Amino acid sequence: MVRKKVNIPAIHDKDLQDILKEFNLLDRINLGEITCLNCSKEITIENLGGLVSKDGGIKVFCDDPECIALETPNNELYE
């Protein structure tokens, strides 16, 4: 029997900076211009918890578990 797969999309640290650069976010993060989508905390490379595609753009949230939880239900993970 084939088991259903739940994919957990993830970014590895090695790819993170390249992806941020492609979305023109890296410089803005380094300048302290980007804040968490949910808690408005300033995002750094260290506290970046993940990215979310929203309203045609890419938003960033911090690694506070509550901020991750707020985004979770919008995502379809089943393959």
Partner 1 sequence: MNKLVEEILKFGLVPAILVVFIFLIVQDPDRAEKLKAVITKPFFDLFRWFSKTRISSEVNSSLNTYFKSSVFNQLIHDPDTQFKVKWVKNSKDPYFKENGSLILRLKEDKDQTKNVINAAKIAIPHVVCPLIRSHLDQNIRSAVDLTILQKLSERLGRHGKAVFKRYFLDPEVENDPTLSDVLSKLVELDKHGVYTPIFLNELELVGEELYANSDYNNYSKEVLDFTQYLLNIVKRNTGDEIELNYIRSPFKLGTILLAKTNKAQTQGVRPYLRRLRMKLDKGCDSIYLISFPNSYDFFNKILKIINSHESLEVSKVINTVDFQPSRGSNSQNYKIAILSNNGVSGSYGFKERVNANNLQVGDIYSCEVEDVSEREALVNLLGLRAYVKSSQSSWLPCVTCKNTLVVGDEYNFKILEIDFNTGTISMSRRVDEENPWLTNDSPEVGSKIEFKVIKVHKGNLEGVWNNQFVHIPNEEISWLGYSVSELSQFIGEVLDAQVTALDEAEFKIIGSLKNLYEDPWPKINELFKKGQEFHGKVVRVNDNHVIVEIDYSVVGILPRESLEKAGFEYANFNETMQVGQGVDVYISKVFIAKKKIRFDLTRNKTPN
> Can you tell me the distance from the alpha carbon of 50 to that of 11, in angstroms, rounded to the nearest whole number?
8
Verify binding: residue 53, partner 1, rule CB under 8 A. Answer: yes
Residue 30 has which token pair? 């380094």
Asked whether 11 and 30 are in contact (CB, 8 A), the reply is no
Verify binding: residue 12, partner 1, rule CB under 8 A. Answer: yes
Selected binder of partner 1 within 18, 27, 33, 42 (CB under 8 A): 18
Verify binding: residue 69, partner 1, rule CB under 8 A. Answer: yes
Selected binder of partner 1 within 26, 28, 35, 58 (CB under 8 A): 58
List C-alpha distances in Å: 44 to 55, 56, 74: 23, 23, 24
Residues in contact with partner 1 by CB under 8 A are: 1, 3-16, 18-19, 22-23, 48-56, 58, 63-66, 68-78
